[in-house]
Structure 1
Amino acid sequence: MNQVVMLSGWRYRILVGSVVCSALAYLVVSLWGGWAAVSMAVSRVGWWEGGQIVGLVLLGYGLRFLRWQVYLNALRHPLPWWPSLKIYLAGFALTTTPGKAGEALRGVLLKRWDVPYPHSFAALFSERLSDLLAMVALALFGLSAHPEWLSMIVACLVLLACCVLLVSRPALVSAIDRQMGQRSGWLPRVLRHVVQVLHQSRSCHTPRRQIGATLLSLLAWGLEALAFYWILDAMGSDVPLAFAMFIYAVSMLAGALSFMPGGLGSAEAVMVALLVSGGVALPDAIAATVLLRLATLWMAVGLGAVMLAYSKQ
């Protein structure tokens, strides 16, 4: 177990590149809303409120880690909590990749603990599935007032149903595997690996585990939605909690479906647009969006980078 994963090469370039591009994008957006007005809106969130918001987000990370441990135990790889936590957080370093695919880095780190790649990828796939279910559930809070987002939520539900069908129907997955076994080329080879992951994922999705994982997901992402509401409240924006949860969930879904790294650009644009449509001033909407993303996405990337660098020791 003396294998070392270095924060270098493509991982380092992705991390640095995403930080630089995002910083420039947020600067442009802030200037668009009026730098002075945005800065004034940010200053209204004091240190005490800011600390509470960060605490909520960290608690959400803890619940998502607990869900990760549930999946690893289901896959018969019960890791001690501290090494497992370091590995889990290190995966956040590459959150700013399309569809959070970079979090598959955890599979490389878990290899030290003799966890096969199909098993670690099954845990990651189960996480994404659970996240999608939680976001769709949160988005339903304000759907009646914003039916124009129904098509996107239906698309997410269709994707969710297809994934659940593949996980719950081993005969269907085996049939796909047999078909791919008769073909050559890179695509059939990739699909055979996907089939292995789907087979392993079944143990993560028994009814009892599914209920527990869904509750943990709803609580974890609900805390981030609550953090968004607290930011708006601290800035003096009169936005109901249900609407704040809807904005947060729809923005995250839009970011995920865009397949932009970390949802960058698309999630922020939807969040600002929905806030403005709800009567929030543009500078306040931009400030709230930037603060939320700093407290969620970029805090996660920072923690992940520290844990990934720590793995060199």
Structure 2
Amino acid sequence: MVSDGGQAPHRSVREDQQVDAPLRAVPRGGAGRREGRLSPVTPTSETPVTDLDALPAGSPEGKGPGLDRLGRRLLVPLGLGVLVVVGLALTANPRELARSLRVFDLRLLVPVLALSLFNYGLRWVRWEIYLRRVGATLSKGRSLAVFLVGFLLSVTPGKAGELGKAWLVRELGGGQAMRVISVVLAERVTDVLGTFVLIALGTFPLPGGPWITAAGVAGVIVTLVLLTWRRGAEWAFAILRKMPVIGPRVPHLVEMYDRLQELLSPGLAVMATTVATVAWAAEGLGFWLVVRNYAPKADLLLSVFNYTAANVLGGLSMLPGGLGAAEGSLAALLHGQGLDTADASSITLIVRAATLWFSVLLGLVALPFVARWLAGRGEQASDVAT
């Protein structure tokens, strides 16, 4: 175990130092597996250390190249965000869009942003529970800062950059990065399951809705069972081992599955999925409040369905932050349900500002603190080296 103030003296390069913020996934190559556990790979004096990933945690050379490049990487989603605004404005007619935005009651931003904060708070509690489960030892303040910086890292295709949170936890003395990767994956799995629950509930007012809702909830339960079904996983891995490209990476996939399975045990899975459902429902409620400004008779469940479905479509697009796909699908759903193009575009812009871009702003606020802590650990490592 690693304390908050220091690093473990002996750690496997392959095991612990493969993750770089904001994006470094599962390591390649590797040792065999016996009884579901990978053999540790111990570096020797002949093992060249040429990659910043493989440098000791806290070393001056390895202070976080990902964070150094983060500002440049944010230019892509920011550019896409500008294009989305321009696209919605041109679709709705800029003058009509401006008129529609002026109609919005700015006082509604208080509850809408509060609901977004409630979403982040619940998900941070889940993050904390998971970190403690895998033995990470960050203080709550540093844990919160890493969680918020994760919002910056999540503005990547499929939110894959959030794996960089594992690197940050390691660099801040919280434990092995590979263990924290399983936490990030468990977050994503339970978020997906939570959104599926909301989509199922959102179909309730539609024709045949109760049956769709029941089928959706049953599907979530079946998915959880399959994810934790060891024999089925072993069968799937046996097939993957025979594939030329994937086969050599199967031992790492099995290792990741072992750790993920621990975090998706029945009790933890129900807790985490419930947290995800309530958290995303809170943002859906905020979306409904904005819609009611333009359509007072808007249905709550249908609004939650619209918001959640648009987010899912944005995620499936693999665009950074779902930009473009989420906004386009949300505006299309609203327009298809009777709102004019200008109002649908206004609602979309307001809601995305109060959710996605609000989270990015919080990540920017937390970033200097994390950067300072990383720099401090690098200076400590330099002092020890000299």
Quick one: distance in 2 between partners of 1:193 and 1:147? Answer: 43
Quick one: distance in 2 between partners of 1:121 and 1:141? Answer: 30
Which position in structure 2 is the counterpart of 1:13? Answer: 72
Quick one: distance in 2 between partners of 1:159 and 1:265? Answer: 28
Q: By percentage of residues, which structure has more helix?
A: 1
Identity %: 26
Which position in structure 1 is the counterpart of 2:252? Answer: 193
- 1:1-313 correspondence to structure 2 within 5 Å: 2=58, 4-5=63-64, 7-9=67-69, 11-112=70-171, 113-143=173-203, 145=206, 164-166=225-227, 168-174=228-234, 187-313=246-372
Quick one: distance in 2 between partners of 1:76 and 1:301? Answer: 28
Structure 2 CA distance for partners of 1:146 and 1:303, relative to 1, 3 Å? farther
Quick one: distance in 2 between partners of 1:95 and 1:165? Answer: 27
Quick one: distance in 1 between partners of 2:218 and 2:312? Answer: 11
Q: Secondary structure of the equivalent of 2:120?
A: helix
After TM superposition, the score normalised by the length of structure 1 is 0.87
8 Å CA contact retained: 2:116, 2:355: yes
Structure 2 CA distance for partners of 1:184 and 1:143, relative to 1, 3 Å? closer
8 Å CA contact retained: 2:158, 2:319: yes
Structure 2 CA distance for partners of 1:186 and 1:12, relative to 1, 3 Å? farther
Q: Secondary structure of the equivalent of 1:103?
A: helix
Deviation at 1:185, TM superposition (A): 7.6
**Which has the greater radius of gyration?**
2
Amino acid across the alignment from 2:250: L
Structure 2 CA distance for partners of 1:255 and 1:160, relative to 1, 3 Å? farther
Structure showing greater relative contact order (alpha-carbon pairs closer than 8 Å, 6 or more residues apart): 1
Structure 2 CA distance for partners of 1:264 and 1:156, relative to 1, 3 Å? farther
Structure 2 CA distance for partners of 1:232 and 1:80, relative to 1, 3 Å? same
Q: How many residues align?
A: 308
Q: Deviations over 1:210-240 (max 9, x none)?
A: 2221221111101100010111123345311
Structure 2 CA distance for partners of 1:289 and 1:190, relative to 1, 3 Å? farther
Q: Secondary structure of the equivalent of 1:140?
A: helix
- Aligned Cα RMSD in Å? 3.0
Q: Deviations over 1:57-78 (max 9, x none)?
A: 0111000101111111222225
Amino acid across the alignment from 2:300: L
Q: Secondary structure of the equivalent of 1:141?
A: helix
Amino acid across the alignment from 1:257: L
Deviation at 1:83, TM superposition (A): 0.7
Deviates more, 1:242-251 or 1:261-270: 261-270
Quick one: distance in 1 between partners of 2:208 and 2:75? Answer: 39
8 Å CA contact retained: 1:30, 1:287: no
Deviates more, 1:189-198 or 1:47-56: 189-198
- Give ranges in structure 1 of 5+ residues lacking alignment: none
- Give ranges in structure 2 of 5+ residues lacking alignment: 1-5, 7-57, 373-386
8 Å CA contact retained: 1:42, 1:235: no
8 Å CA contact retained: 2:203, 2:302: no
8 Å CA contact retained: 2:138, 2:169: no
Deviation at 1:188, TM superposition (A): 3.5
Quick one: distance in 2 between partners of 1:256 and 1:155? Answer: 19
Quick one: distance in 1 between partners of 2:125 and 2:72? Answer: 30
Q: Secondary structure of the equivalent of 2:344?
A: helix
Q: Secondary structure of the equivalent of 2:371?
A: coil
Quick one: distance in 2 between partners of 1:240 and 1:23? Answer: 30
Quick one: distance in 2 between partners of 1:189 and 1:163? Answer: 27
8 Å CA contact retained: 2:155, 2:161: yes
Deviation at 1:33, TM superposition (A): 0.4
8 Å CA contact retained: 2:306, 2:330: yes
Structure 2 CA distance for partners of 1:286 and 1:74, relative to 1, 3 Å? same
Structure 2 CA distance for partners of 1:140 and 1:173, relative to 1, 3 Å? closer
Deviation at 1:133, TM superposition (A): 1.0
8 Å CA contact retained: 1:132, 1:160: no
